[in-house]
Amino acid sequence: MALLLQPNPSFTLSTPQFPILSNFRKSPFLNLPNVVSCSNSSNKFKRPYTSVMIVPTGVGAAIGGYAGDALPVARALASVVDCLISHPNALNAAMLYWPMPNTLYVEGYALDQFAKGAWALEPVHQNRVGLVLDAAIEMELRMRHLQVADAARASLGLPVLEYTVTDQPLEVEKWIDPKTGQSTGRIKHPDSLLRAVQSLVDRSQVNAVAVVGRFPDDDENSMHDYRQGIGVDTLAGVEAIISHLVVKEFQIPCAHAPALLPVPLNQSVSPKSAAEEIGYTFLPCVLAGLSNAPQYLVTNSDARDNGCIFANDVDSVILPIDACAGNGVLSFAKKKKNKPLIIAVEENTTVLIDTPDRLHIETVNVSNYWEAIGVIAAHKAGIDPYSLRKNRINNIPCRSSLSLNGSTVVHV
């Protein structure tokens, strides 16, 4: 015998795709303060957990010093936190990239300004991206980059509006600093770059810029260590100088992709460097990252009204163990209020010597990123990370002075 069920008039079926907006509007929790987030977290009773991942550029980081080899770490972190803030060096992988809806792509100079509290990050749905090509790029190589831009527009729907060519070659120079071992460099004609960006801003009102500079081609011998995943990226230092220049002047997102002639095939390239071996340009990841990078706003009352993210919203910072002297890290470490948990990863070494002990910075030191993600998961859950370790929680201390019968007793 079949039983016919009649619909209950007091019950209405809804799905996540079609919520019942009339009932939602009556929710008593709508009176809660606005919560700033770059995620779709469903927990309405806690503010979003925000983490900053830093891997300095051009310092030979064991993880993140090559062609996007820190991207797996970023993906794992993004699955644990509500909002991840990182920079192009950690998220770019030349021809490869990975979309992470709760990850903010923030240029290094802007990240320092954010950490200092001078700038806020305003999440966006889409940016208007412009492209600047160095006049020194040969015609065939220029066409390769323009084809990448067109492919990104047609196949990915990215909003790349216009390109321009600098009015004179930038003349990029790069070298390794003999004192620090870091890569660095300069461009001889920075004014030409700034004029090109200004023209895009004026004509098309772009609010994000990708720059492609013609870099000197290296011979196979000078690239050998980097291609084997053991050297310093000689391009990275001056790439940062280029993007810093644009961001400082225009206060809009910017990232750089070097233009180089294809190198001869090498059958023993390290997987960490292989992303740069599979195409003619490094531009795809830059266009993808810039398409929804947050805008930078000078901190003021309007920034709060715009739903921005501030340095005080950061809960944790994760970085290599010997790279703690960056401006952003020091700003977070010196905070008197809302100081984030700073996690230093011992396995990720660089050519630097700026350890927490040397700089007198309070950190949680972990062996590797596996442990770091565990610490962040505990911290997000409101759990003292040390309570997960064997015999790491001691008896609760008392450091107060009490007056008993006219005498002062100090408990330590």
Domain ranges of the chain: 50-122+297-383, 129-293
Dist. CA 214–CA 259, nearest whole Å: 5
Beta strands 103-105 and 314-320 are unpaired
From first CA to last CA, the distance across the chain in angstroms is 78
What is the radius of gyration, based on Cα positions, of the chain? 25
Q: What residue spans of 50-168 are helical by DSSP H?
A: 71-80, 88-91, 108-116, 139-155
The pLDDT assigned to 403 comes to 56
The pLDDT assigned to 162 comes to 97
Q: How far is CA 126 from CA 38, 99, 108, 110, in A?
A: 13, 14, 20, 18
The pLDDT assigned to 271 comes to 85
**Rounded mean pLDDT, 105-110:** 98
305 φ/ψ angles, rounded to the nearest 5 degrees: -65, -25
Fold of the domain built from segment(s) 50-122+297-383: Rossmann fold (3.40.50)
Indicate if the pLDDT at residue 16 is higher than 70. Answer: no
The pLDDT assigned to 221 comes to 64
Indicate if the pLDDT at residue 114 is higher than 50. Answer: yes
Dist. CA 382–CA 378, nearest whole Å: 6
The pLDDT assigned to 27 comes to 39
**Rounded-to-5 percentages of helix, strand, coil across the chain:** 35, 20, 45
Distance of CA 36 to the CA centre of its chain: 18
Indicate if the pLDDT at residue 395 is higher than 90. Answer: no
The pLDDT assigned to 276 comes to 77
The angle subtended at Cα 126 by Cα 123 and Cα 129, nearest 5°, is 115
Dist. CA 31–CA 6, nearest whole Å: 37
Residue 326 binned pLDDT confidence (cut-offs 50, 70, 90): very high
Q: According to the CATH classification, is domain 129-293 in 3.40.50?
A: yes
> What pTM was estimated for this model as a whole?
0.85
Dist. CA 340–CA 405, nearest whole Å: 42
The pLDDT assigned to 410 comes to 55
Indicate if the pLDDT at residue 196 is higher than 80. Answer: yes
In a 3-state reduction of DSSP, which class is residue 213? strand
Mean pLDDT of the chain: 87
Indicate if the pLDDT at residue 368 is higher than 60. Answer: yes
**Rounded mean pLDDT, 262-279:** 79
Indicate if 129-293 has the same CATH topology as 50-122+297-383: yes
